[in-house]
Structure 1
Amino acid sequence: MLRSAILRIRQGEARPVLWRWPLPFWITVSYLVAMLTALLMVTTWREDDLMNPDATSILLAGIIGGLLALWLAIRNIQAALIDAETTSKQRQDDLTVSRLLALEESRTRPLWIVWLMALATIILIDALALVAGKPASNLPIGLDRIDSAAWETWFLALILFAGVRPITEELIFRGILYPALARWLDNNLLAALATAALFTIFYLLQVLNADLGWTTIYWGFIYPLTLGLTASLARAHTKSTWAAVGSHVMFGLFLVLSAMVTFA
């Protein structure tokens, strides 16, 4: 079974990679800049403390920054497609932005099975972390200060963790970065592992100012590494970025439900 899964992961991608190598990294950096800029704008607008914002400010900034990064990513892929058509001097009728990003049906397992497997994975990892001593109240930035918040804040949390963040981050890391790495390394499995590692670093950078503890260990390393491996391997196995998006949504839904149980 494992051998069969690895063989499917190593099968070639169905779509070409039209963008140049620096693009994935430029979009990732733009995503970080967009989130920081959005946080500055939101805290200024709400007269909140930039260094210690409340849950609403963090969630709003995450949504705004994520949507901006998503727009930038799609615009760049559209530009890459136009450049390819200009260079070849013929219209690529079989290529669209969604196809280039592998937003298609799974070529192996049904997507709902992949998503349920992702949900089982985060439940198992969270349970193991709790057994190891992680406090149940230790939640990711944004959800960690949502206690006693109005229902609107919970709605923002659901939009961010189960909507904007999964779509934006998976299109960047699994839709754009992964196929570029797969072409460069000429090995889908190594590309999936490398994408997961870079995804973990991306999350680690967001908690560097936190004290060394469960916030850094779990939310800066264990959680993003688990999510990164799950989404990357799902993308490589199914050849569908929807597999990664759905897996990320399952992780996000679990986080929001965990916060609801914690602060109930």
Structure 2
Amino acid sequence: MLALDCQRQAGGIALLWGNNNEASLCTYTNSHIDMIITVQGWSKFRLTGIYGKPDRARRGSTWNLIRDLSTQSNMPWCIIGNMNNVLGQAHKRGGRLYPSWLVQGFQEVLDDCGLIDMELNGYPFTCERGKGTEKWVEIRLDRAIVSKAWLEIFQDAKLTNLEVSTSDHTPILLEPITLHITPRKRRLKFENAWLREPICKQIVEDTWNKHQVEPLQNKLNHCLEVLTDWGQDITGNFRRRISDCKKVIRSTKG
């Protein structure tokens, strides 16, 4: 682990990895950590974590840092972190328009260094201020930008906004390799709670009659499949339903 403390109430950056030979440290400052990542079965690549200067007057130092880092290696490259900047007005909702000189300056950095902004899956904004007030602002400050060579190697890479956070920023997850996992076959199970619903009997009768020419086991399976689909609304995802109830309670209290 390499961790760099925040300055006052801003900044702070850390990088953690699993095995000693997975990451090789190149350079670091209080605004960045630059490493080479070596994982068995993957192509070696460069990973840079960045915390952009929050002071707009000093934003140019972040851009110059990226430019300087781009000249140090031709290795496939990924930069990820809080850039404290946007690439377009669509990346901000609420408040005044983002200063055009900041948008243009950041865009020029990506053009100069041949970097590509990765698409963010999930909620489009990663930071918010003044939630629930007239000054509520949502903005995408956290992102991953990659070289063309990196994207050609990790063609199935995925960047996701995890959304849940106690901070004013939400975490983003970058998966260089997206695993294609065969979905497990759904387990069908009869729930006794269904018997309390009058429509349950009718569902069984209708399904049974619809497949009455089939063997007994087939008819039983059809009934269970239909009941399982219907029963999700009765005894479905309790965790999600509890979470929805809590949101209603919080909004009522507010």
Structure number with greater CO (CA < 8 Å, separation at least 6) is 1
Bigger strand share: 2
**Greater CA radius of gyration, 1 or 2?**
2
Bigger helix share: 1
**TM-score, length of structure 1 as denominator length:** 0.23
**TM-score, length of structure 2 as denominator length:** 0.24
